[in-house]
Chain A
């Protein structure tokens, strides 16, 4: 079956430092990966959609300078939260897309001190 792993599951970083999180698709090829953030008391917001061999499309309020994404192959993507501050805390979810199906990972929960 199609599985999506995210690493780490939980992480804490100091304000102003950076945090890298990973997303691994197992059992299928993810032509696109969507990264989402769920801030406290809010729903999931799309950060960006990354398609292999194509430009990464960032949503309004999210930039490559703040959330650089790497998507080197069909099974792996990583995203870094640069210069994290309190407003960046939350649950970061990756959705690995194959065709019309999107499979979600368990998320990386980021706490910023």
Chain B
């Protein structure tokens, strides 16, 4: 079965609204990362968060390791936040989720 599942598959917001992205994983993970994939395809690492809560700018990630889930909260979304957000776990090899496609409308 799929190791990493993300929800929702897509999300449409008005600028200024908050976004909540979910990631569930089926095996233990020594590392969990959230990535942003630009429309051109490049991956940008947003946060590494194997457990607990981490903040950077408008992003907050909370990972509950024993429940095998992580969330990424984007506050005050902007149109430039549009793109695909990928969750990946490292369990001796990296497994990526299918991603959440975020569209932020002006």
Instruction: Give A residues with C-beta under 8 Å from B.
Output: 34, 36, 38, 42-44, 46, 49, 91, 93, 95, 100, 102, 104, 106-107, 109
Tally of contacts, chain A with chain B, CB under 8 A: 33
8 contacts between A and B (CB under 8 A): A43-B97, A43-B99, A46-B94, A91-B41, A93-B43, A102-B94, A107-B41, A107-B43
Number of interface residues of B (CB under 8 A): 15
Nearest CB in chain B: distance from A101 CB, A: 9
Contact of A49 among B30, B88, B93 (CB under 8 A): B93
Contact of B41 among A43, A46, A106 (CB under 8 A): A106
Once bound together, how far apart are the Cα atoms of A104 and B48, in whole Å?
Answer: 14
Once bound together, how far apart are the Cα atoms of A106 and B41, in whole Å?
Answer: 7
Nearest CB in chain B: distance from A111 CB, A: 12
Instruction: Find chain A residues with CB under 8 A from B43 CB.
Output: 93, 104, 106-107
B25 at the A interface (CB under 8 A): no
- Given A43-B99, A100-B31, do A109 and B94 touch, yes or no (CB 8 Å)? no
Once bound together, how far apart are the Cα atoms of A42 and B99, in whole Å?
Answer: 9
Does B41 contact A95, Cβ atoms closer than 8 Å?
no
Instruction: Find chain A residues with CB under 8 A from B90 CB.
Output: 100, 102
Contact of A34 among B30, B45, B94 (CB under 8 A): B94
Does B94 contact A43, Cβ atoms closer than 8 Å?
no
Instruction: Find chain B residues with CB under 8 A from A106 CB.
Output: 41-43
Once bound together, how far apart are the Cα atoms of A46 and B95, in whole Å?
Answer: 8
Contact of B96 among A44, A49, A100, A109 (CB under 8 A): A44
Chain B residue with the shortest CB-CB distance to A107: B41
Once bound together, how far apart are the Cα atoms of A8 and B26, in whole Å?
Answer: 35
Once bound together, how far apart are the Cα atoms of A25 and B45, in whole Å?
Answer: 17
Does B42 contact A107, Cβ atoms closer than 8 Å?
yes
B86 at the A interface (CB under 8 A): yes
Chain A residue with the shortest CB-CB distance to B35: A104
CB within 8 Å of A: which B34-50 residues: 41-43, 45
Nearest CB in chain A: distance from B81 CB, A: 20
Nearest CB in chain B: distance from A37 CB, A: 11
